[in-house]
A = this chain, B = another copy of it.
Amino acid sequence: MKELEARIKRDGRVLGEDVLKVDSFLNHQVDPVLMHKMGQEFYEYFQDKPITKVLTVESSGIAPAVMTGLAFEVPVVFARKHKSITMNNDMYVADVYSFTKKTTNKISISKNFLSKEDHVLIIDDFLANGQAVSGLTNIIQQADATLEGIGIVIEKTFQKGRQLIDHQNIPILSLARIKAFKNGQVVFEEE
């Protein structure tokens, strides 16, 4: 998505070797008009799938997920993040390891909002090491629901996230694909 790539070039800040800060339009301050266009891109790509639900993780996934849900006119469920959680029978729970923070968090979704009838589109802000998407995929399996596709705002193709997903034969659309950071600049994959 050219407009997103231009925005990353203009407003993204590269920190160290593998961190891209996009808190001026995606993670802390959000550009709703851009989010709306991203939702429509995801819709165009996945519109032939019988999507019944969009799934994401709080908080940065919510804005793009809600705009995608608006395009599909289906509910959006955002998984809650917890440092710890008391297991109970009302929730699906999965682990999400953070490579940057070197901690494992739990994510959870109420069983009321995901069932085996659901055809799910996962939307998330980043695909890097693939831990959040793996946690969501795990929850979809627990619910016996069908994963139809994965939509990512920014993928870092030099990290191992996509490898984790690719062998499952799930269609993935990443709106911006970064192959490297070079001298503090973002280098995108060719389209």
Interfacial residues, chain A to chain B (CB-CB below 8 A): 23-25, 28-33, 35-36, 58-59, 62-63, 66-67, 69-70, 73-78, 80, 109-110, 112-113
Contacts and interface: CB of A to CB of B under 8 A. Distances in A.
Contact of A59 (B28, B36, B59): B59
Given A58-B58, A58-B59, A59-B58, A76 B113 contact: no
Contact of A30 (B23, B24, B59, B78): B78
A32 B36 CA distance: 12
Contacts of A113: 23-24, 28-29
Q: Is the interface of A mostly helix, strand, loop or mixed?
A: mixed
Given A58-B59, A66-B66, 14 more contacts: A23-B110, A23-B113, A28-B109, A28-B110, A30-B66, A30-B77, A32-B66, A32-B70, A32-B75, A33-B70, A33-B73, A59-B59, A59-B78, A62-B66
Nearest to A72: B32
15 contacts: A24-B113, A28-B110, A28-B113, A29-B75, A29-B112, A30-B69, A30-B78, A32-B73, A32-B74, A32-B75, A33-B73, A35-B70, A36-B70, A58-B59, A63-B66
